[in-house]
Amino acid sequence: MYAKEVTINNPTGLHARPATQLVREAEKYQSEIRIIKENMVINPKSIFNVLAAGLSQGIAITVEAEGTDEREAVDSLCRFIEDLKE
């Protein structure tokens, strides 16, 4: 398993458009990926899970993955979240 913490900087958080983009990015990887927000476990390959999580600006989350491409998946999703400016 590989994990990293990242803070959501986007002023509007992960609303509909960036949430959809996050799901598309997560779906590229075979590893099982999870986003941890406090005690909530979110499946980033599910648009409903991502939107229901209320991932707003300033929230620190942990992105973790387990599988053959876990490092690539975590690094890519963290980079996506850090670079998001919409």
Interatomic CA distance for residues 44 and 34, integer angstroms: 6
Strands 60-66 and 2-7: antiparallel
* CB-based contact 20:47 (threshold 8 Å): yes
Catalytic-labelled residue, pool 12, 15, 66, 72: 15
53 is annotated as an active-site residue? no
The catalytic site residues sit at 15
